[in-house]
Structure 1
Amino acid sequence: MGPGQAQVDWGEASVIVDDQVVTGQMFVMTLPHSDGRFVAAYPRATLEFFLEGHRRAFEFFGGVPRRIVYDNLKSAVTKVLGGRARALNETFEAFVQRHLYAAAFCNVGAGHEKGHVENGVGWARRNLFVPTPRTPRMGLRAGLIERALCHR
């Protein structure tokens, strides 16, 4: 992939909250050309957190990529129409239009088409969540996001 291209995905990670193992979600955006990587942790993979992850990644990288590649994640796609055509969640579609980038989607079952971010999810899991981080419930989100952003 050339300059101005990004890939996005969610990944699961475990944390220990008040002595109980909890599974959370990592929002990961990578820039394959420069090997840039942004990771933020969230309690769930919701549309709200998905869009927040984008905004924070854009701020972190200092701009918006021209094109972002996704798989067919429920945060963005309401229906696969065939080929690469997708019916998008209206809020996500408005977000894409407001930020002036092209959203591209992998073929169904072809996650390897965005292998750079898949590797980024693995990197984050191995480097940010091993050993399993501990945090009190009140500091869960803030602590994990701070931990994730401290690593590039």
Structure 2
Amino acid sequence: MRKLIFTLISISSLAYANPKKFICTDGYISNLRSAPDAKASLVTQLPKYTPLIVVEEQEGWTKVKSKSFEGWIFNKLLDNSYKCVLSTKSYKTHESYTSSTEHKYRETVLTGEGFKILKAEMGMTKVQDKTGNVFWLENHILWPKNNLKSLSL
């Protein structure tokens, strides 16, 4: 019984001590490669503001993963100066959460679309898409959740 408790405490403390590091794609379209080489096979192409989990870094390249893929991306296509999220399903947007807005607006977002986080409030997040449109989305459709928590009031 003591071994089981010790093992569980060790595992949970390791998970807490090594939180996931997230980073965002910054290129309009970024190529994800199978190896850290520009000539390596293409895994997928990622749109701007795609949130990624950092796995490891190596000579100008970063190994990343997301919910459905893993691969290598050139470091100049990444930005850690802001937080980003991904929509987990197609959903309606909210033009204004508090008052009128001066920005361009969209009515819906698509599954898998990435966004730069501008502001997070309880239950809603103000985001910007890759073309500059600004609007609010409900948090329950956004991933990763820890990017939302770090901005909460």
Give the shorter-chain TM-score range: under 0.3
Counting strand residues as a fraction of each chain, which structure ranks higher? 2
Counting helix residues as a fraction of each chain, which structure ranks higher? 1
Q: Give TM-score scaled by structure 2 length.
A: 0.27
Q: Give TM-score scaled by structure 1 length.
A: 0.27
Higher relative contact order (CA 8 A, sep 6+): 1
